[in-house]
Structure 1
Amino acid sequence: MLPMPHAAVAPEQDRTGGTTTATVPLDGVDGLDVGVWEMSAGTMTDVEADELFVVLAGRATVEILPVNGFTAAVATLRPGTVMRLAAGMHTVWTVTEPLRKVYVAR
């Protein structure tokens, strides 16, 4: 399995304390970044970039907040889930089992 060196989430984003994430870039194609991202159990906020991802492992929810013209929504994430995030989305990630995803982002 790909080793993922984790770092603490910034305090202003970490809602539960002790949450960590890791990113390993894999490649770039035509201005797109491809990589693997992982998050420990916990809850954090984020502002998204344009991204398409597939969940490889873990369980979580991602809440899209009604900010910047986006409609509020909650998605359940589990292995095999495919999701697109748009630049400027404000999200809340709640991970119950460590989450690993492969992503393609601008």
Structure 2
Amino acid sequence: MSTTTQLPAGTAVHPDSLELVHETVPAEAVASGSPTTGLYPLGSFAGVDLGVWEMTEGGMYDTEADEVFLVLSGSATVDFLARDGSVESTAELVPHTLMRLAAGTRTRWTVTRPLRKVYLTA
């Protein structure tokens, strides 16, 4: 995982060219395949953390934080899970998808092409 870099005012970065260090998803969170995730924190702005996150092909379960993100590349589905594990709804993610997640929401991510997003999280 990358250390946090504070993005100075007036600085431009190209989030699709940042090198992210990937880690294996813990076995208890794997839904399918052998996914890895990478993170490139860019610091904070007005009390909100921002950065770039990526996941390789495969599936994983997660419990979400309050977050807004914009997909840069790749494709995936996010299943929103009920307490019993059943799927309540599904969102399709492709480049330029903007999505909001709520803290505590249980999800299952299934990535079919490596997914990279820019996130803002509280």
Give the TM bin, normalised by the shorter chain.
over 0.9
1:61 aligns with 77
1:14 aligns with 30
Offset of residue 17 of structure 1: 3.7
Offset of residue 29 of structure 1: 1.2
1:93 aligns with 109
Query: SS of 2:27's equivalent?
Result: coil
The structure with the largest helix share of the pair is 2
Gaps of 5+ in 1: none
What amino acid is aligned across from residue 119 of structure 2 in structure 1?
A: Y
> So what's the TM-score if we normalise by structure 1?
0.93
Cα RMSD, aligned residues only: 1.2
2:52 aligned with 1:32:
no
> Considering only CA atoms, is the larger Rg found in Structure 1 or Structure 2?
2
1:81 aligns with 97
Query: Number of residue pairs matched?
Result: 103
**Greater relative CO, 1 or 2 (CA 8 Å, sep 6+):** 1
Gaps of 5+ in 2: 1-16
Query: SS of 1:12's equivalent?
Result: helix
> So what's the TM-score if we normalise by structure 2?
0.81
What amino acid is aligned across from residue 37 of structure 1 in structure 2?
A: W
Offset of residue 50 of structure 1: 0.1
Offset of residue 30 of structure 1: 2.1
1:47 aligns with 63
Offset of residue 72 of structure 1: 1.6
What amino acid is aligned across from residue 100 of structure 1 in structure 2?
A: R
Q: Displaced runs of 4+ in structure 1, greater than 4 A?
A: none
Identity fraction in percent: 50
CA distance in 1, matches of 2:91, 2:26: 23
What amino acid is aligned across from residue 72 of structure 1 in structure 2?
A: E
